[in-house]
Amino acid sequence: MTYRAPVKDMLFCMEHLAGLERVAQLPGFEEAGLDTAQAVLSECAKLNEDVIAPLNRDGDQNPSAWKDGHVATTPGFKAAFRQFVEGGWQGLQHPAEFGGQGLPKTIGAACIEMVNGANLSFALCPLLTDGAIEALLTAGSPEQQSVYLPKMIDGSWTGTMNLTEPQAGSDLAAVRTRAEPQPDGTYRIFGTKIFITFGEHDMADNIVHLVLARVAGAPEGVKGISLFIVPKYLVNGDGSLGARNDVHCVSIEHKLGIKASPTAVMQYGDAGGAVGMLIGEENRGLEYMFIMMNAARYAVGMQGVALAERAYQQAVQYARDRVQSRPADGSLPGAGPILHHPDVRRMLMTMRAYTEGCRAMALVAASAYDAAHAHPDAEVRRDNQAFYEFMVPLVKGFSTEMSIDVASLGVQVHGGMGFIEETGAAQYYRDAKILTIYEGTTAIQANDLVGRKTVRDGGKVARSIAAQIERTEADLASQGGAAAAAVRMRLEAARRAFLDVVDFVVAEARTRPGAAYAGSVPYLMLAGNLMAGWQMARALLVAEDRRARGEEPAFMAAKVATARFYADHILSKAPGVRDSIVDGSIGVTDMALEAF
Amino acid sequence: MTYRAPVKDMLFCMEHLAGLERVAQLPGFEEAGLDTAQAVLSECAKLNEDVIAPLNRDGDQNPSAWKDGHVATTPGFKAAFRQFVEGGWQGLQHPAEFGGQGLPKTIGAACIEMVNGANLSFALCPLLTDGAIEALLTAGSPEQQSVYLPKMIDGSWTGTMNLTEPQAGSDLAAVRTRAEPQPDGTYRIFGTKIFITFGEHDMADNIVHLVLARVAGAPEGVKGISLFIVPKYLVNGDGSLGARNDVHCVSIEHKLGIKASPTAVMQYGDAGGAVGMLIGEENRGLEYMFIMMNAARYAVGMQGVALAERAYQQAVQYARDRVQSRPADGSLPGAGPILHHPDVRRMLMTMRAYTEGCRAMALVAASAYDAAHAHPDAEVRRDNQAFYEFMVPLVKGFSTEMSIDVASLGVQVHGGMGFIEETGAAQYYRDAKILTIYEGTTAIQANDLVGRKTVRDGGKVARSIAAQIERTEADLASQGGAAAAAVRMRLEAARRAFLDVVDFVVAEARTRPGAAYAGSVPYLMLAGNLMAGWQMARALLVAEDRRARGEEPAFMAAKVATARFYADHILSKAPGVRDSIVDGSIGVTDMALEAF
């Protein structure tokens, strides 16, 4: 099964929903118009379809393997990574002064979808490196930047993110890894980190670990955590590689999915201490790590979109090829491809609608990121930043939760064959389950949505987005067609449900926080559903308009059908979720703990 | 992690919802009252908890293995199966005249849940044997019954169900395996069958394959299929085992889950033809196979309940043990067991509510089965049969679909540890995915629900059940408590949604079958949700009453909380699903096939 990058839909989203031409008016992005996007996406598609995608199944069958502290990646990964970095893909969104291409996130995000669609395990290595680059760009000293960034951007070295410890999990307050200051200004690092993605591998010359640790005497909790660079090989003054640092991979995990991506247990300082360089100031590590984590959270959301796209493509192919039974609705005189079966179509439409909706949501968020960083007007920057920050937990949480359902439907379309590993559909089902967990579980995203993104500003940003959605409803009403009318009805109901929940959450957070947080994940799901559905509604307006003008009628007709399906089958869940949140907190909090 | 059979909840359902005392008034079931149920369940729990459950993870790590036509099951399985059959568990629901215990399904179903909760892969062997026994009881000749049934009921021999062929999948009209009549009245069978559960193994002396095949000259399609007994070893006149039959296991599948259960490719007749004995009459094979399949469908629904229960138990244990982070709602001063985290409680309540609701639904259906078979009054038998038949696709379809969500939540509760195979939560997530596929996919169950169970009688049975639900709503209103009021509101909304859908399906099935079938699976999910939610509402009434009388207040309070949670968080989905079905068929059918 090959993977075809969904270039056409990506360009549609960029042009018509994310406003790429406006992005290309931002200072520094003047070259990043539609032509550039087209050229970049088509190059990116070629590499991913031809080189990286075919290794996806190999990676599952022949995962990364640990031996004596070394990790051998799946055969073919190393060479493919060479091609990836030689094509400049690691540096796509990073500054030209360090060798990057300086493209906007609006384009970069689509490329990230592609490499993840091609091969989720493979893509994790550049994904984590991107995050480490971001952190160094923001908080690294000029010297650190000049030593590490060019090599990371050109792909000679990769990066990792070391947060989790066995006793701490997601609770960074419980981090115990310690850093001892040395007379030369460096630190010695001691401790164990787990769940370190690509913590050890053979695809690059060096691995730059960014490590959270506690300096002796630091305050308790998250306010006493500092961030350190701990390279696998120390770097000499001339930039060449020096001594092996005292950091070692002691094992890798046996996992449900993403088996080609080595998940390492890293041991720091067993032989005297790993040499670490402080990033920024002591005790501000969490703040810097969040830079990295926010980039990674968005990217994990894109992984959800990417995986869903791939599962969809494989299911469609199977449904075209597999001939079986007369359809239940009698639409064929005898047996035919199962694509004719009504429920197979419903499943495929569900997969497609979720995927397109979440892609559109993510690309719209990406263009807000670009405006937030590059727009000359501070107020515009601030508004876009607020919008982007509201969207990140939705992109991460909703797109990954939906990817599990989509992958499960993908297996289901295959029937019994889906349960046989060689078919390949089961791999997506296994791989998908990590996406709702790493870089912060869905519950952690939802806490962020409730606390920092909704309660903190009293629901202001949430309501301002709802006001924008209301304008889309008015546009749908003016459009006048049956599909637009159907979508408008569902969009309005979902928006009202969302506003009720925002009011509820804001009101309850202080007086009855248990009630507000009992509905946090349902709120995230409702909000993500609404935002993706809103983009599908906007897409419908564009598509109806283009179709009326005879432009790409087949593509536009499919977009209209998908938007309508989204509204009737996915957005229609929103009012019920509102009821669960607003009326249902007692059901969550009433159970005695000992009765579970 | 041990498995604890949920005996208390089972007995609660039997006594208060399924009316076990009424079952015990049926002729033949006079001994099967609550005391018997208690004794049987407690014995059954002991075996499953102590012997069978501990082998579950072994089976996943050390699956059944094929070599030279033989299949070695996981070490320990053979001895455990001996204990299982020696305890009389294979014969629990089968007639005493062939060595069974003749207990009602109301009790038997709970025992089936237990063995599946203990070990889904292991349980498949008796599950399929049960089906083969049913088919022989109904359609076998007295001689066939006397040769095969005692040995199958005492567990010396096991049974299989051979339907699927590579080209045919679920489409039995496409079966090509052929049967050639012989002068001695037997047949020679030639063909290949796939996906044969426990088609070969080492736990019994003989394997009795029931095989669908086509006699030369038979009518095309499903009306030309006959059913044959094809034993692995032929049986001599004195009942001893004779020659090896010409049926061989040529391979087993490498699967996503239920790895300990060998899924065999069976080759018939490579060396001259496998000897087969016709069951009943030629060309009535499908009818007989449906006896087997209906028993198996109900049992697979129970597998969903069982798996969900086990996933829940493991998740609760983890949530009690794992200390991490201060809860988002500030309910603890610092880090505590994650059971205190609001979203963990929401997840656990979701798992629990689905599980209890589906268990109650299945046990109520089982008591209807018992009445349908044993009640002296023909009209009562007929009504109960109609009720049971309506419930089977819901028990199968809804309970298995929910089990995937529950298993996924189970992994989620574990966070990153859930994705590590050694934790065990991931196995349930992998195992669960087969349940919505085998014995008829959810779509096949939904076609049955729409066609045979709803449209054929113009919605009569569906509406009569809705009328019963309305009476429960009245009881909830009379009860007067806050929980009852909350549940009543959701139950009424879900019932009305259900009735709208029944009307829609009945009206559209003839004129626009595409529209009716586009909503078939959503209809099944809505109906299953309603039926399980109805039982939870009935459970709430009982629990409030008992609680008021001071009987088992902790258990009853938990039941009330769970019922309320079910209503607010699960039943509340029903109106949205109604909208998808009634308004959303265009979204399913409008997409051009080439646009997928």
pLDDT confidence bin for B494, thresholds 50/70/90: very high
Asked if B453 is an interface residue toward chain A (Cβ–Cβ < 8 A), one would say no
Q: Where are the beta strands (DSSP E) in A503-589?
A: none
In this predicted structure, what is the pLDDT of residue B187?
A: 98
Which of A522, A573, A596 has its CB closest to that of B348?
A596
In this predicted structure, what is the pLDDT of residue A480?
A: 94
- Distance, in Å, from the CA atom of B122 to the CA atom of A576, rounded to the nearest integer, reads 39
- For A125-149, what is each residue's pLDDT tens digit? 999 999 999 999 999 999 999 999 9
| % of residues, chain A, pLDDT over 70 | 100
Q: What is the overall mean pLDDT for chain B?
A: 96
CB B531 within 8 A of CB B461: no
Kindly give, in sequence order, each residue whose CB lies less than 8 Å from that of residue A262, ignoring residues fewer than 6 positions away.
A64, A66, A71, A73, A197, A198, A199, A200, A201, A249, A252
Q: Which candidate, A112, A117, A107, A120, places its Cα nearest to that of A60? A: A120
With b for 16 or more beta-carbon neighbours within 10 A and e for fewer, the A178-204 pattern comes to bbeeeeeebbbbbbbbbbbbbbbbebb
Contact B343 A520 (CB under 8 A): yes
In this predicted structure, what is the pLDDT of residue A2?
A: 84
In this predicted structure, what is the pLDDT of residue B167?
A: 83
Q: CB neighbours (10 Å) of residue B456? A: 13
Query: In chain A, which residue's Cα lies nearest the Cα of B426?
Result: A256
- For B243-292, what is each residue's pLDDT tens digit? 999 999 999 999 999 999 999 999 999 999 999 999 999 999 999 988 88
Domain over A7-153 is classified CATH 1.10.540.10: yes
Query: The CATH number of B158-283 is which of 2.40.110.20, 2.60.40.10, 3.40.30.10, 2.40.110.10?
Result: 2.40.110.20
- For A222-276, what is each residue's pLDDT tens digit? 999 999 999 999 999 999 999 999 999 999 999 999 999 999 999 999 999 999 9
- Distance, in Å, from the CA atom of A585 to the CA atom of A588, rounded to the nearest integer, reads 5
Query: In chain B, which residue's Cα lies nearest the Cα of A574?
Result: B576
Which of A421, A575, A594 has its CB closest to that of B256?
A421
| A290 vs B118 pLDDT, higher one | B118
pLDDT confidence bin for A294, thresholds 50/70/90: confident
In this predicted structure, what is the pLDDT of residue A101?
A: 96
Please report residues of A whose CB lies closer than 8 A to that of B344: 443
Which of B164, B253, B421 has its CB closest to that of A420?
B253
Q: Which class for B444: exposed (0-12), middle (13-18), buried (19 or more C-beta within 10 A)?
A: buried
Please report residues of B whose CB lies closer than 8 A to that of A591: 345, 349, 558, 561-562, 565
In this predicted structure, what is the pLDDT of residue B1?
A: 53
Point out which residues pair with B247 in neighbouring strands.
B268
- For A450-474, what is each residue's pLDDT tens digit? 999 999 999 999 999 999 999 999 9
A439 catalytic, yes or no?
A: yes
| Nearest-CA distance A106 → chain B (Å) | 26
DSSP B217: T
pLDDT confidence bin for A168, thresholds 50/70/90: confident
Which of B343, B420, B517 has its CB closest to that of A443?
B343
Same fold flag, B7-153 and B158-283: no
pLDDT confidence bin for B168, thresholds 50/70/90: confident
Which of A324, A341, A518 has its CB closest to that of B346?
A518
Contact A584 B593 (CB under 8 A): no
- For B528-560, what is each residue's pLDDT tens digit? 999 999 999 999 999 999 999 999 999 999 999
Query: In chain B, which residue's Cα lies nearest the Cα of A169?
Result: B324
- Distance, in Å, from the CA atom of A581 to the CA atom of A519, rounded to the nearest integer, reads 5
Contact B516 A437 (CB under 8 A): no
Kindly give, in sequence order, each residue whose CB lies less than 8 Å from that of residue B479, ignoring residues fewer than 6 positions away.
B541, B544
Residue whose pair of structure tokens reads 């009307």 in the numeric block:
B503
- Distance, in Å, from the CA atom of A49 to the CA atom of A71, rounded to the nearest integer, reads 26
Query: In chain B, which residue's Cα lies nearest the Cα of A414?
Result: B437
Contact A584 B576 (CB under 8 A): no
* Domain boundaries of chain B, sorted by first residue: 7-153, 158-283, 442-596
CB within 8 Å of chain B, chain A residues 81-100: none
pLDDT confidence bin for B497, thresholds 50/70/90: very high
CB B343 within 8 A of CB A520: yes
Query: In chain B, which residue's Cα lies nearest the Cα of A426?
Result: B256
| Nearest-CA distance B467 → chain A (Å) | 24
Q: Which candidate, A254, A267, A257, places its Cα nearest to that of A307? A: A257
Work out whether strand A65-67 and strand A233-235 pair parallel, antiparallel, or are unpaired.
unpaired
Q: Which two tokens stand for residue B583?
A: 């308004």
CB B120 within 8 A of CB B307: yes
How far is C-alpha A506 from the geometric centre of its chain's CA atoms?
Answer: 27
Question: How far is the CA of B61 from the CAs of A68, B58, B78, B260, B424, in angstroms?
Answer: 24, 5, 17, 8, 10
Please report residues of B whose CB lies closer than 8 A to that of A574: 576
What is the average per-residue pLDDT within A465-488?
A: 98
- Distance, in Å, from the CA atom of B580 to the CA atom of B573, rounded to the nearest integer, reads 11
Question: Which contacts (CB < 8 Å, 24+ apart) does range A373-376 have?
Answer: A374/A26, A374/A27, A374/A28, A374/A29, A374/A104, A375/A26, A376/A27
The answer, yes or no, to whether residue A220 has pLDDT greater than 70, is yes
What is the average per-residue pLDDT within A580-585?
A: 95
Contact A331 B586 (CB under 8 A): no
Please report residues of B whose CB lies closer than 8 A to that of A554: 592, 594-595
Please report residues of B whose CB lies closer than 8 A to that of A500: none
Reported ipTM: the value is: 0.97
Contact A256 B429 (CB under 8 A): yes
- Distance, in Å, from the CA atom of B483 to the CA atom of B562, rounded to the nearest integer, reads 10
Point out which residues pair with B33 in neighbouring strands.
none
Asked if A345 is an interface residue toward chain B (Cβ–Cβ < 8 A), one would say yes
CA atoms within 13 A on the CB side of A54: 9
Select which of A134, A439, A508, A544 is catalytic.
A439
Which of B517, B562, B594 has its CB closest to that of A342?
B517
Asked if A262 is an interface residue toward chain B (Cβ–Cβ < 8 A), one would say no
CB within 8 Å of chain B, chain A residues 346-365: 346, 348-349, 352
In this predicted structure, what is the pLDDT of residue A1?
A: 53
Secondary structure string (H, E, C) spanning A445-458? HHHHHHHHHHHCCC
Q: CB neighbours (10 Å) of residue A548? A: 12
Kindly give, in sequence order, each residue whose CB lies less than 8 Å from that of residue B79, ignoring residues fewer than 6 positions away.
none
Query: In chain B, which residue's Cα lies nearest the Cα of A575?
Result: B576
The phi, psi pair for A516, rounded to 5°, reads -65, -45
Length, in residues, of chain B:
596
Asked if B221 is an interface residue toward chain A (Cβ–Cβ < 8 A), one would say no
